[in-house]
Amino acid sequence: MLSDSDIEEAVFWACQHEVLAPKPGNVNANSDGHNMEVEDFLKSAKAIAPVMADSTLSVGEKILRSIQSTRAVVNCNTNLGIVLLFAPLCQAAQSCTDMNFFPSKLGRILQILTVQDAILCYEAIRLAEAGGLGESKEQDISAIPTVTLLGAMDMAKSRDLIAQQYVSNFNILWDLTLPALTKARNSGESVEWAAAFAYLKLLSKALDTLIVRKQSIALATTVKERALDFVNQMEQTGHYKSYSTSLNSWDKELKQEAVNPGTSADIIAATLLMYRFEQQLSDKEFQYHEALSGRH
């Protein structure tokens, strides 16, 4: 089982590697953007890590307190999507001893989310001042919700990839991004380049819903097609870093046009978190078996 300190370390680790990864269109180690800097994301990561690791908090409390902590150190929305994704994942991690059981643990956490969780989440979203949310006829973010957090996410799933994760038990992580990241790491890629590959893989498969809401489906489709070109080339050659120059060029192009595939970046942060949890649980299992063997 992971301790609070394990989870705190994993949260910061995931956020740090996500922002440093060369992900076109997002703030990264090569380029700031969207009026934000790498340091803003690192400050935010440090602020939310102990909150996410606090085993006494509910999912809704984790979300609201994380955004409150973030706004105390930065004056911009660096991590709302990350916080929304991390909260149930960290909650599940607090009682999981084996990664094989993580999806079922997570599923139970999502099923028991309450109306109070939704109320706290809505307050956090308003505090984060997230842009491009639009309006909804039911359970709009400006109102007080009357359904559970899972129910609210179900209503938003058609327009938000993060909401889709709540209602699909985060299947995009298990089926797409975590396998892509793990495969890249096992082939010798750095964490940052593995994260960048998983990001491109996600962009090539699903329209980034932040782009759809802020700009258009057509633009999101163009981004998807460009990402697919990169994925096909990278998978064919296996030399990810050789695309650094062309990825940097696309990064500049996207930022000049204020295109931010932010939802995809948030999902990669969650993917990194799960990758780190997997490492930690594996290390604990190894240590346990080493201790047992030492007794004989």
Alpha-carbon separation of residue 68 from 7, 29, 51, 61, 141 (angstroms): 19, 26, 10, 10, 17
Q: What pLDDT, on a 0 to 100 scale, did the predictor assign at position 240? A: 86
pLDDT at 74: 95
Q: Which residue has the tokens 């594996």?
A: 282
**Are the beta carbons of 189 and 163 closer than 8 angstroms?**
no
pLDDT of residue 233: 94
Exposed, middle or buried, 35 (CB in 10 Å: 0-12/13-18/19+)? Answer: exposed
What distance in Å separates the CA atoms of residue 227 and residue 201, rounded to the nearest whole number? 7
Contact 199, 265 (CB under 8 A): yes
pLDDT single digits (tens) 236-275: 988 888 899 999 999 999 999 999 999 999 999 999 999 9
Contact 177, 1 (CB under 8 A): no
Give the whole-angstrom CA distance, residue 42 versus residue 85: 17
Looking at residue 214, its amino acid is K
- The parts of the chain modelled with pLDDT lower than 50 are 132-134
Q: How far apart are CA 205 and CA 224, in angstroms?
A: 7
pLDDT of residue 15: 97
- The rounded distance, in Å, linking the Cα atoms of 83 and 215 is 23
CATH number for the domain formed by residue range(s) 4-294: 1.10.4200.10
Tell me what pLDDT residue 141 has. 74
User: What's the CA gap between 59 and 52, in Å, rounded?
Assistant: 9
Question: Whole-angstrom Cα distance, residue 121 to residue 61?
Answer: 8
Q: Quick one: pLDDT at residue 137?
A: 54
